Chain A
């Protein structure tokens, strides 16, 4: 019974301390038995008394542990849950859309439904595992222990409240992050199936995948950088000069990639339209070309406004 008791306590104690602590507890148990029942072969009820005098195994282990054992500590747990929610929402929505776009062999709605559930489940498990692993590693290498607060604590430890132009919109960041996750899933899984459907089973793919593939890595890098910046801002809850610089750089790179995408000849493959629709195809192709250029113009304007906003905020910070 003593061995079982020690084994149970040992489960709650870190491997580094286990042997020493259990040795001590065993010694204390036998001290109790000796003092109360003398030196002899002890009965089950006597051993039970000794064990009960020590206490519940978990309580004993807690008393010996210097700090609670956890995979992800209090310093990171809130951020962990936030990242998890963003990732899972993005995955759920993204994969649902992707599966609907890529369904070709499905016979009925139930098959689509099962396929969606299965893919979301698989991707969610991978995301949960990856995110948990990352945070566990962060916890292990940088436990984020609380500073020791002494009587002579410095006023420098008081965090400055963010000015109006430094505040971040949490809701905006969360929504943007969800859409980034969505976009990443779509671009990596559903891009080959972006197409226009015509009667008599004519499916015309929009993108020439051979020309699009080289852009994929840069789009992924830019989006993931944007996502990382958003997560950093969600943790810090304020804009700082360097985060604004990073945001500006990401904006410029994004516009650059988008411009290159629009301007790459042959990337947007409308030739098949001419073949199927004849004269109407030429007109449609013109409209689509114009739409792409218009989209580019809108994106450039929006990004320019965003960059201007960041620069103005940085000037405000500098002037203070």
Chain B
């Protein structure tokens, strides 16, 4: 991998990191377990690594944005996450913020030759 490719990859990961929280909050209206959420995000065009998503979900739960519950299905315990009331309120604010950011970036990028 060339130096430029490394730099680009690093910056791409940083850009994605900023959007992950909102992405997770948009996909947890229905209860999801870790791997199902990875599948859902990948299907929507946002592939994500397991050891990025799982700790993130724990963090969001600690912040009160997600609720979790252990459920046993087919003899296997799984931890299911669902967006909380606080999570919904925060999501609404983040969506507005995102839309403003989108407009701003479009203007900035539009000015680039």
Contact = CB atoms under 8 A, between A and B. Distances in A.
Interface of A: 23-25, 27-28, 30-32, 35, 39, 53-55, 59-60, 63-64, 66
7 contacts: A24-B79, A27-B34, A28-B54, A31-B34, A32-B50, A35-B35, A59-B51
Interface of B: 33-36, 39, 49-52, 54-55, 58-59, 74, 76-79
Nearest to B54: A28
A28 B78 CA distance: 8
A73 to B, nearest CB: 21
Task: Count chain B CB atoms within 10 A of each CB in A23, A24, A30 and give the residue with the most.
Answer: A24
Given A28-B34, A28-B35, A31-B35, A54 B50 contact: yes
Contacts of A25: 54
B78 A27 contact: yes
The prevalent SS among residues of B at the interface is helix
A32 B51 CA distance: 13
B50 A55 contact: yes
Contacts of A55: 49-51
Contacts of A53: 50
Nearest to A64: B55
Contacts of B34: 24, 27-28, 31
A63 B76 contact: no
A64 B59 CA distance: 9
Nearest to B74: A39
Task: Count chain B CB atoms within 10 A of each CB in A31, A39, A55 and give the residue with the most.
Answer: A31
A35 B39 CA distance: 10
A27 B50 contact: no
Q: State the 7 A-B residue pairs at the shortest beta-carbon distance, nearest first.
A: A31-B35, A63-B55, A55-B51, A63-B51, A28-B34, A64-B55, A60-B51
A54 B78 contact: no
B39 A63 contact: no
A79 B8 CA distance: 40
A30 B76 contact: yes
A66 B63 CA distance: 12
Nearest to B52: A63
